[in-house]
Amino acid sequence: MTDFKSEIASAIAIATKIEKSEIYGYIEVPKDINNGDYAFPCFKLAKALKKAPQTIAEDIKNNITIDNNKILKIDIVSGYLNFYINKKIMAEEVLERIENKEDFGKALAQNNKNIVIDYSSPNIAKPFHIGHLKTTVIGGALYNIYKYLGYNVTGVNHLGDYGTQFGKLIEGYKLWGNEYDLEENPIDKLAEIYKRINELCKEDENVLNNCRENFKLLEQGDEYCTRLWQEFKDLSIKEFQKIYDLLGTKFDSWNGEAFYADKTDEVIKILKDKGVLKESEGAIIVDLSDVGIETPCIVCKSNGSTIYATRDLAAILYRARTYDYDKCIYVTSYEQNLHFKQIFEVAKFLGLDEKYTKGLEHVPYGFVRLSTGKMSTRLGNFVKVEDLLNDAISEAKRIIEEKNPDLDNKEETAKKVGIGAVIFNDLATSRIKDEVFDIKAMLNFQGETGPYIQYTYVRTNSVLEKVNNNKPKFKDIDIELLQDDYSINIIKLIYNFEDILNQVIDKSEPSILARYLIDLSKAFSLFYSENKIICDDKNLQEARVYLTYATGKVLKNGAKLLGIEMPEKM
């Protein structure tokens, strides 16, 4: 399939003697179709070429060599070069490929790079709340898209199964364990114990010291502390799995913090041998002030215990050796920006190949807040994901029963619609934006939501049902009949699908795909309302039915990559 964007970039690169990769990254798709199919902002080259954008645009236009059969026109508007492509060629190529390729938009060749994605990573013995949902769905979408594009991907659920909080939980269980039956709702019971012990720690310094001592005993392999820790972990994973099953989330590794506890000695030895460890107020640190990070990275506490930074450094060593990663992505809230800046800098002292330290990437996302403020498991003000998903499914079922009471498989459809609404809500806007959780907005079945995309897909199915699912063959389609604005708008969007997926991984931003699916759904709605699909003109009907089929296929593929299943009927 012709890569028009690549050909334009090559032609501009030759004309300007600037690297094609740089040019390619600047090329845009104009929002206004009157400004062409692709646009190049010449002001991006003003500094390098020492010319005004308008002059640059004129020079490029006068000196560019391009296939006039593929690029029909180039014009200049306010320092932009606008390119108008041959839409008939585009339509022929994209619609032929969509028939012959089951996974349209999937990379034709295997990308031989290894990608590790660390996501979800809930804390053992704490509720899986809506803050954890964001990392789970963002990481899951990135995992799906990288894999779809042919990369070797390893998804890691780096469980929070170690640390001082377990010393607190063990102390709380010692004090009040006989008051709780952990056979039923174990996470809620453990969360209650954790809340109580935190309150007691504030009142009594001796209790806090006992908690710290419990964790030290756990590190040393104390039988009692280890047995309790394993019980808490097993109960938690069992509860987490219920949520992952609802979301369709899978991992290749469940190695959490505890897995690296016996691997931290090597980290400390390497850093000691490098001469970068210092003592500060009894703790062992790495001073990073020379690289502009004023807060030192603590490697060992004053009582000799390691912290999560040490275990994260051990994880980097392990992942480099085990997975030979080209990129290791961490999906966490931007609250951990400083932490990852610290460990990425300290990792440079571990003796790893530069490939591994350069491949470390933090993908932050904004806070998810309640309307009453920030959530806290210590304070007990949080929304559990399992409750949220079940509420969404129930609400979806209520709406379905109201609008289509005779629908078959209402339970399964409600599950897809409810969970799809929740997932899309977390992915529809830029990940870095803070989100005030609003269940009413999320479950609004009108507007730019997951259910809207699902409804559009169902509408494409209903069109195909009207022709008994006898989709015409591409060779029988008259492309000339799909040159109206509504058809071309859909074809251009479908053509850009693979580029959209590459933009997602380039920017680690699944919202790009979510917004694309909204745009495609809107384009089909316009096409559906303005063009009669089932009509007396057999040739016209076949062309429009084929375009409908293509739209449905891309909507389903794109939604699946976000972790959303499509119902066949609603």
Per residue of the chain (570 residues), what is the pLDDT tens digit? 889 999 999 999 999 999 999 999 999 999 888 899 999 999 999 999 999 999 999 999 999 999 999 999 999 999 999 999 999 999 999 999 998 777 787 765 567 899 999 999 999 998 888 878 999 999 999 999 999 999 999 999 999 999 888 999 999 999 999 999 998 899 999 989 999 999 999 999 999 999 999 988 998 899 999 999 999 999 999 999 999 999 999 999 999 999 999 999 999 999 999 999 999 989 999 999 999 999 999 999 887 777 889 999 999 999 999 999 999 999 999 999 999 999 999 999 999 999 999 999 999 999 877 555 554 544 455 678 888 899 899 999 998 999 899 899 999 999 999 999 999 999 999 999 887 767 667 777 778 999 999 999 999 999 999 999 888 999 999 999 999 999 999 999 999 999 999 999 999 999 999 999 999 999 999 999 999 999 999 999 999 999 999 999 999 999 999 999 999 998
- 483/489 Cα distance (integer angstroms): 9
CATH class of 119-369: alpha beta
User: Where in the chain are the domains?
Assistant: 4-85, 119-369, 385-562
**Three-class DSSP category at 225:** helix
Helix (H) or strand (E) segment spanning residue 235: helix 223-247
Amino acid occupying residue 190: L
The CATH number of domain 385-562, selected from 1.10.357.10, 3.30.60.50, 1.20.810.10, 1.10.730.10: 1.10.730.10
pTM here is 0.92
Query: Which three-class secondary structure string do you get for 325-363?
Result: CCEEEEEEEHHHHHHHHHHHHHHHHCCCCHHHHHCEEEE
Topology (CATH level 3) of domain 4-85: Gyrase A; domain 2 (3.30.1360)
Long-range contacts of 31-36, Cβ-Cβ distance < 8 Å, separation of 24 or more: 33/485, 33/489, 35/77, 35/80, 35/82, 36/73, 36/75, 36/82, 36/83, 36/84
